[in-house]
């Protein structure tokens, strides 16, 4: 910024000398305006030191920044108030005008309650037929719709009071026609700069909709005013207050200011950081300036008057209108004579003098909000002080800011110059929000490394929706500890209370329990809230125990066993709790007691956990019963406080949040009581009421606290930072979508100063560009995660790119002869828009040629290995040193190794287990058994004779393991029919008691002695017999084979094993032919030798494919495809990829089929020859 020398001894013109006037400060830098403000405070202090300075701001973020800046410059910032304009002006009404209450009876929240009481009484009138149709439905749904509709109408009336006070006055005079005429004057629009961009319509096309809205809104306003007036009259005897709203008070206050200097007026008033004010507020400030100092600071992006420049898109509309011939529009809509005459007014013709001009296209396109406010300010009688300064340097960002400052038109001469190393303005195309944050983190580290003077507090990251990015921000920025050089302190502001605090989120969830299905996961999530857990005296270990119990106890959904059902719900929390309680006194094998089966795990010292769970469920049961019945607001107030104190522990960490919620409960209920709302309310309305209240609460406390700031893009908070980053600038996400209500009359008659969400977002984008002092960083999702297709950024980013590509030349200059296929604008785009890989571990992120290399050193191994030849995992066993393992080998380890050598290496040597330890709770009603449930129940049934199956089925149903009602009988019958053939085969074994054998075998391997230890179960008269309700797979055969080898060494006289399975509902019989003790010893030696070497060497042997390798060893292509298929998911859920082979095949470049064939022969040839399969 260029140095600025300003004298703050304000010299007024002769006509204003000696008269208080409005002082307008125009500057394109907020820092300059801040300096002016601070020097005014320091050089001209108030005459009364006890009077506080009044600085009007539009956001708490701006107030926080000003406090810090004043304190930094003056040493302290004290006795300074930062009210919002609306609250300040109402406070002046209250202190100056007689009988004005401190609380506005026409506040939006209060009007909503009045409207909820009024609207049902008016639905019989013909004007309200449309509202009646909308509200028709069930009683509960109708009340929720009524609440939502009342809120929208209250918001609309609140807007009318500020932006259309003349309509309010006309309605109160029962003059709806005046409102209609006011709207008609804007159809079609007559003033080019202020018009909407839609083409004009004929009068009769709009008559039914908006004129009907004028009628019912006028009737409703008169009824609302009468209700509030009557209520105020009842209280007038006590407090002498009258029924008055902003529109009426505005006229009274203006009249008072014109007649005299009212009392309680501040000596001096500042308005700072406000980009737009309603016309009535500006009129009030201008009138105040007659009696006190009023200093208004306007952050004006352009030093020249630009209040009349026109959006290029609107100029295109003018060209379209000029092509009208014979009064006909291309869409077939006809214009009347009046509209044709308006289109041919001189102002709409080509203007050779330049009246219709765009100036700077970005300013014309994005600046409507500021342009309208500037036009209003230009009509004021004020002392104007200009304090503009051009941005320093020749960076692209500085050139862009100066072009806007100087109102440079499109294609300036000379054009912008872009140096190869210029990174002042960067746009990054990413694949996902996670990558956006990862790339941002790397960029921040680059900047901090390049500029030691740059600190986290000098950077702001603004997002269209900060809540969407919170998990990604925490995932990236929280992974580094304080002692890590990559650690960046950060804070997230503007989060919704329901997203930022678990107590508030869980409280809102409890308010919506009326229609909850009380799924296992949702109830346990509530119990996992620290304040709830502590309230019921549960520690983390006990909660984990409960989580395991719930998963094993058949609890799925539902609070009560008999709630809303003809058949008992044995998957409900009440049923599961009864099983746990019974389990504290008896075992499951003790039988069924009062139609309940005991849960074994709750037996013993863990019984007290069940009592704590019972207390928690009792509270939920009571609260659900409360939610079922509509209640008056007074009773809701009591119940809401009961919920707060009963379910949440009041401790040092939660006290502030609980006090916050308690205060909001009283505020919301008191507003309804003050409005005289005496009807009952459904719990759905209460839930939505609190959700809306907490969502609207200002939550900017973490803004500007000395750390990296993440915040939402909010109007009038464009505070200057050295680095401004905008994330999530995606097409459709920004500007944010806002669909006005069809009954919003302001959209049919727009005026200067009207607030439109998309216009606000455009101007905020412009302010963000201008507030960046050194760097502007923009990122968006520019590639699809699924197919890598290009995605478009926000239309604002596209407009910025279009503008820069047309205005900019590269240094060195672009040579079309060297790059004939590439246009100059394309080369500029390629420089500005940086494409990034989809993943953080991509090799491109660590390439030396990449200027934006990643700091994620954990992934450097990937880059290091990119240029190295992979060492093949399949190595010759003779090349590896003998492992020094302990002298004891367990049978379980050996079986696991032979079943999956690759999986054993990952688990034993690398400590990697691809196992989902997270509990997946079934949380919906089951009408049939899935494959896993069917298998688990079948395995239990096969351990009992068929005569006991009926009792077992009853036990399954009481444990919640079968579907409900008649579906339980159907499932039980299907299970019985399927298992009956296998049960008949194994019935002789079930009549016997199974034995187990303890194994202790001493072996010598490569000159060293080892002992093989373990247990073999399922022995019937020294014969191994096993069965399962599913197919016998390779892993089962391998297990039985190794157990057979061990039995041969321990008990040479043992019979060969028999094992049975069910495949396609047919019994499959397997057995091994007898082998000698010598064969068993030699084969066991083969496994043990490879087992010992596998302690250091990975043996990638696909043992699940042993049959394919032995049956057709010459078909290399088929064998290779079978191995590759191990790492791929199949079509069915049961055909999941082997996670170990999936990881192995992703890195292994070659597979030595010959080595695998040789090892398969060595391992399984004898087993295959001995195996006999029958049916």
- Where residue 167 sits, what CATH number does that domain have? 1.10.10.160
Spatial separation of the C-alpha atoms in residues 891 and 1042, rounded to whole Å: 9
Locate 136 and state its tokens: 């028709």
Cα-Cα-Cα-Cα dihedral sign, residues 143, 148, 153, 158: positive
- Other C-beta atoms lying within 10 Å of the C-beta of residue 1141: 22
Over residues 450-490, the pLDDT tens digits come to 999 999 999 999 998 898 999 999 999 999 988 899 999 99
The contacts of residue 253 (CB under 8 Å, 6+ apart) are: 92, 93, 96, 97, 262, 284, 287
Which residue's structure tokens are 């202790």?
A: 1000
Q: What are phi and psi of 1016, to 5 degrees?
A: -120, 120
Where are the strands (E) in 399-450, listed by range?
A: 416-418, 425-430
Is residue 1119 situated within a structural domain? no
Do 270 and 140 share a domain, yes or no? Answer: no
Q: Is residue 934 part of a domain?
A: no
Q: What is the pLDDT of residue 766?
A: 95
Q: Which residues is 724 bridged to in the sheet?
A: 460, 776
- Cβ contacts of residue 421 below 8 Å, gap of 6+? none
Count CB-CB contacts under 10 A for residue 503: 23
> How far is CA 1104 from its chain centroid?
43
- Whole-prediction pTM: 0.81
Residues 547 and 674 in one domain: yes
**Residue 546's domain is classified under what CATH number?**
1.10.486.10
Domain residues for 645?
498-696
Tell me the three state secondary structure of residue 965. coil
Counted domains in the chain: 5
Query: In terms of residues, how long is the chain?
Result: 1175
Tens digit of each residue's pLDDT (9 = 90 or more) over 801-854: 999 988 888 877 555 555 554 566 788 888 899 999 888 887 777 777 677 778
Q: Are residues 289 and 372 in the same domain?
A: yes
Q: How far apart are CA 90 and CA 977, in angstroms?
A: 80
**In 137-195, which ranges are continuous DSSP H helix?**
139-163, 165-172, 176-184
Are residues 140 and 67 part of one domain?
no
pLDDT at site 842 = 79
Angle, CA 759 vertex, CA 753 and CA 760 arms, to 5°: 80
What is the rounded distance in angstroms from the CA atom of residue 747 to the CA atom of residue 1058? Answer: 83
32-45: buried (b, 16+ CB within 10 Å) or exposed (e) per residue? bbbbbbbebbeeee
Judgement on whether residues 531 and 585 belong to the same structural domain of the protein: yes
Name the average pLDDT for the chain: 83
Q: Residue 70: which CATH number? A: 3.40.50.10930
**Alpha-helical segments (H) within 837-947:** 860-866, 891-899, 901-904, 931-941
Q: What integer pLDDT is reported at residue 1096 of this predicted model?
A: 75
Burial of 204 (C-beta count, 10 Å sphere; 0-12/13-18/19+): exposed
N-term to C-term CA, the chain: 90
The DSSP bridge partners found for residue 995 are 1019
DSSP state of 1082: H
CA torsion through residues 298, 301, 303, 305, sign:
negative
Q: Is residue 1021 in a domain?
A: yes
3-state class (DSSP) for residue 1026: strand
Q: What is the pLDDT of residue 645?
A: 94
From 184, 208, 243, the end of a domain falls on 243
Distances (CA, A) of 34 to 47, 59, 298, 499, 768: 22, 16, 11, 34, 17
The structure tokens listed for 98 are: 């007689």
Phi, psi of 593 (to 5 degrees): -125, 120
Q: Which of 843, 901, 914 is nearest to 873 (CA)?
A: 901
Residue (of 522, 505, 513) closest to 624 by Cα position: 513
Residue-level pLDDT at 206: 42
Q: How many angstroms separate the CA atoms of 442 and 232, rounded? A: 61
- Both 515 and 655 in a single domain? yes
**Residue 239 and residue 154 in one domain:** yes
Paired strand residues for 779:
428
Cβ-based burial of 168 (10 A; exposed 0-12, middle 13-18, buried ≥19): buried
User: Cβ(1068)–Cβ(1060) under 8 Å?
Assistant: yes
Question: What are the C-alpha distances in Å from 883 to residues 912, 1008, 1082, 1096?
Answer: 20, 11, 20, 7
CATH number, position 793: 3.40.50.300
Residues 705 and 646 in one domain: no
Co-location of 186 and 282 in the same domain:
no
End residue of a domain, out of 1079, 1095, 1111: 1095
Q: Which residue has the tokens 């304090």?
A: 387
> Distances from the Cα of 1003 to the Cαs of 18, 141, 901, 996, 1074, in angstroms?
113, 78, 21, 22, 22
Question: Cβ contacts of residue 489 below 8 Å, gap of 6+?
Answer: 456, 706, 707, 708
Claim to verify: residue 999 and residue 1075 sit in the same structural domain: yes
- Asked if residue 562 belongs to a domain, the reply is yes
Contact predicate 862/841, CB 8 Å:
yes
Q: Tell whether 72 is covered by a domain.
A: yes
857's tokens:
């050193």
Q: Nearest-CA neighbor of 270 among 499, 38, 93?
A: 38
C-alpha distances in Å from residue 299, one per residue of 24, 31, 430, 766: 10, 10, 33, 12
- DSSP assignment of 298-336 equals EE-S-SS--TT---HHHHHHHHHHHT-BTTB-TTSPBP-
Cis ω on the peptide bond leading into residue 103 (within 30° of 0)? no
Domain-located, residue 780: yes
Q: Is residue 132 exposed (0-12), middle (13-18) or buried (19+ Cβ within 10 Å)? A: middle
pLDDT value for 240? 54
Tokens of 677: 């709302």
Residue 317 in any domain: the answer is no
Using the 3D structure, point to which of 1043, 1069, 1095 is the last residue of a domain: 1095
Count CB-CB contacts under 10 A for residue 261: 12
Q: Which residues of the chain have pLDDT under 70?
A: 1-20, 138-140, 187-208, 235-242, 311-358, 412, 563-566, 605, 698-702, 716, 813-824, 849, 861-886, 915-926, 1129-1135, 1149, 1175
Which letter does DSSP use for residue 790 in this model?
A: B
Q: Is residue 152 part of a domain?
A: yes
pLDDT in tens, 521-558: 899 999 999 999 999 999 999 999 999 998 888 888 88
Cα gap 394→1115, rounded to integer Å: 69
Tell whether 490 and 503 lie within a shared domain: no
Distances (CA, A) of 1151 to 637, 865, 867, 880, 1148: 71, 19, 20, 19, 7
Same domain, 692 and 706: no
């Amino acid at each position: 910024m260029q140095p600025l020398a300003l004298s703050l001894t304000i010299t007024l013109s002769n006509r204003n000398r000696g008269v208080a006037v409005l002082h307008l400060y125009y500057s394109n830098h907020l820092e300059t305006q801040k300096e002016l403000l601070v020097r005014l405070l320091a050089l001209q202090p108030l005459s009364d030191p006890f009077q506080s300075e009044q600085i009007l701001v539009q956001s708490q973020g701006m107030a926080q920044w000003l406090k810090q800046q004043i304190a930094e410059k003056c040493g302290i910032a004290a006795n300074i108030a930062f009210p919002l304009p609306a609250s300040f002006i109402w406070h002046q009404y209250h202190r100056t005008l007689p009988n004005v209450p401190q609380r506005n009876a026409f506040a939006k929240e209060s009007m909503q309650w009045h409207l909820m009481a009024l609207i049902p009484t008016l639905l019989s009138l013909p004007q309200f037929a449309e509202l009646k149709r909308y509200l028709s439905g069930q009683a509960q749904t109708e009340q929720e719709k009524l609440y939502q509709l009342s809120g929208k109408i209250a918001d609309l009336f609140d807007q009318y009071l500020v932006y259309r006070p003349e309509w309010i006055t006309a309605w109160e005079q029962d003059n709806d026609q005046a409102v209609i005429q006011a709207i008609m004057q804007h159809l079609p629009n007559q003033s080019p700069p202020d018009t909407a961009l839609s083409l004009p319509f004929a009068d009769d096309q709009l008559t039914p909709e908006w004129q009907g809205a004028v009628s019912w809104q006028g009737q409703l306003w008169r009824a609302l005013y009468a209700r509030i007036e009557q209520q105020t009259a009842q209280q007038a005897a006590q407090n002498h207050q009258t029924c008055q709203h902003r529109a009426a008070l505005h006229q009274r206050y203006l009249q008072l200011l014109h007649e005299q200097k009212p009392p309680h007026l501040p000596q001096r008033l500042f308005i700072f950081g406000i980009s737009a004010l309603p016309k009535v507020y500006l009129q009030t400030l201008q009138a105040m300036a007659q009696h006190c100092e009023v200093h208004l600071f306007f952050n004006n992006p352009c030093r020249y008057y630009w209040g009349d420049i026109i959006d290029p898109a609107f100029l295109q509309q003018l060209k379209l209108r000029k092509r009208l011939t014979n009064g006909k529009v291309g869409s077939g809509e006809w214009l009347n004579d009046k509209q044709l005459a308006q289109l041919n007014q001189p102002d709409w013709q080509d203007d050779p003098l330049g009246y219709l001009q765009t100036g700077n296209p970005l300013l014309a396109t994005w600046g409507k909000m500021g342009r309208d406010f500037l036009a209003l300010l230009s009509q004021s009688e004020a002392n104007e002080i200009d304090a503009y300064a051009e941005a320093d340097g020749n960076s692209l960002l500085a050139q862009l800011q100066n072009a806007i400052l100087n109102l440079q038109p499109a294609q300036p001469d000379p054009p912008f110059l872009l140096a190869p190393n210029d990174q002042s303005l960067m746009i990054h195309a990413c694949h996902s929000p996670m990558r956006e944050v990862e790339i941002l983190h790397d960029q921040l580290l680059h900047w901090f490394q390049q500029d030691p003077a740059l600190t986290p507090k000098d950077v702001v990251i603004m997002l269209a929706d900060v809540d969407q990015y919170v998990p990604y921000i925490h995932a990236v920025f929280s992974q580094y500890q304080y002692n890590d050089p990559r650690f960046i302190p950060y804070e997230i502001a503007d989060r919704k209370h329901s997203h930022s605090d678990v107590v508030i989120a869980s409280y809102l969830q409890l308010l919506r329990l009326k229609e909850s299905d009380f799924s296992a996961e949702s109830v346990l999530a509530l119990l996992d809230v620290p304040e709830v857990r502590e309230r019921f005296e549960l520690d983390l270990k006990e909660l984990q125990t409960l989580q395991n119990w719930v998963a094993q106890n058949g609890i799925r959904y539902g609070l009560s066993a008999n709630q809303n059902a003809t058949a008992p719900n044995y998957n409900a929390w009440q049923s599961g709790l009864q099983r746990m309680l019974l389990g504290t006194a008896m075992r499951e094998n003790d039988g069924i007691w009062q139609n309940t089966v005991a849960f074994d795990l709750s037996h013993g010292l863990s019984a007290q956990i069940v009592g704590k769970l019972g207390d928690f469920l009792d509270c939920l049961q009571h609260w659900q019963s409360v939610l079922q019945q509509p209640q008056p607001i007074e009773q809701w107030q009591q119940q809401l406080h009961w919920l707060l104190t009963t379910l949440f522990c009041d401790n040092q960490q939660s006290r502030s949040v609980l006090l916050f919620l308690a205060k909001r409960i009283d505020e919301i209920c008191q507003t309804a009581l003050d409005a005289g709302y005496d009807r009952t309310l459904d719990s759905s309305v209460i839930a939505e009421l609190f959700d809306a209240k907490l969502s609207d609460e200002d939550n900017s406390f973490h803004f500007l606290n000395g750390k990296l700031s993440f915040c939402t893009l909010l109007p009038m908070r464009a505070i200057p930072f050295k680095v401004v980053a905008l994330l999530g600038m995606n097409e459709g996400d920004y500007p944010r979508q806002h669909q006005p209500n069809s009954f919003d009359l302001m959209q049919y008659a727009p005026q200067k100063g009207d607030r439109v969400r998309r216009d606000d977002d455009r101007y905020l984008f412009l302010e963000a560009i201008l507030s960046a002092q050194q760097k502007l960083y923009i990122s968006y999702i520019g590639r699809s995660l699924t197919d890598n297709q290009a995605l478009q950024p926000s239309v604002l980013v596209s407009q910025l790119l279009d503008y820069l590509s047309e205005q900019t030349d590269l240094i060195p200059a672009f040579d079309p002869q060297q790059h004939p296929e590439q246009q100059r604008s394309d080369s500029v785009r390629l420089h500005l828009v940086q494409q990034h890989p989809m993943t953080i571990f991509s090799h491109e992120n660590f390439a030396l040629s990449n200027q934006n290399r990643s700091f994620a050193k954990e992934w450097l191994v990937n880059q290091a290995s990119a240029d190295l030849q992979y060492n093949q995992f399949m190595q010759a066993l003779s090349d590896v040193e003998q492992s020094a393992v302990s002298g004891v080998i367990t049978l379980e380890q050996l079986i696991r190794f032979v079943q999956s050598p690759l999986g054993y290496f990952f688990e034993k040597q690398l400590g990697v287990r691809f196992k989902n330890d997270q509990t997946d709770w079934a949380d919906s009603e089951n009408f049939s058994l899935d494959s896993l449930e069917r298998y688990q129940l079948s395995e239990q049934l096969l351990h009992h004779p068929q005569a006991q199956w009926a009792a077992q089925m009853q036990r399954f149903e009481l444990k919640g393991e079968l579907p409900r009602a008649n579906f339980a009988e159907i499932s039980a019958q299907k299970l019985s029919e399927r298992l009956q053939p296998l049960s008949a085969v194994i019935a002789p074994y079930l009549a016997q008691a199974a034995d187990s054998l303890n194994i202790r075998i001493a072996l010598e391997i490569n000159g060293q002695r080892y002992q093989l230890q373990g247990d073999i179960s399922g022995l019937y008269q020294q014969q191994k017999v096993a069965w399962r309700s599913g197919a016998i797979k390779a892993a089962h055969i391998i297990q039985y084979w190794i157990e057979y080898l061990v039995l041969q060494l321990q008990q040479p006289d043992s019979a060969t094993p028999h094992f049975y399975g069910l495949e396609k509902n047919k019994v499959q019989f397997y057995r091994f032919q007898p082998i000698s003790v010598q064969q068993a010893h030699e084969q066991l030696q083969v496994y043990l030798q490879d087992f010992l070497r596998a302690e250091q060497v990975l043996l990638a042997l696909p043992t699940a494919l042993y049959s394919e390798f032995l049956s057709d060893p010459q078909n290399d292509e088929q064998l290779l495809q079978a191995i590759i298929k191990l790492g791929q998911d199949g079509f069915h859920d049961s055909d999941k990829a082997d996670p170990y082979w999936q990881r192995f095949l992703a890195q292994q470049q070659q597979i030595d089929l010959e080595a695998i064939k040789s090892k398969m022969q060595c391992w399984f040839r004898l087993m295959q020859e001995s195996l006999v399969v029958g049916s």
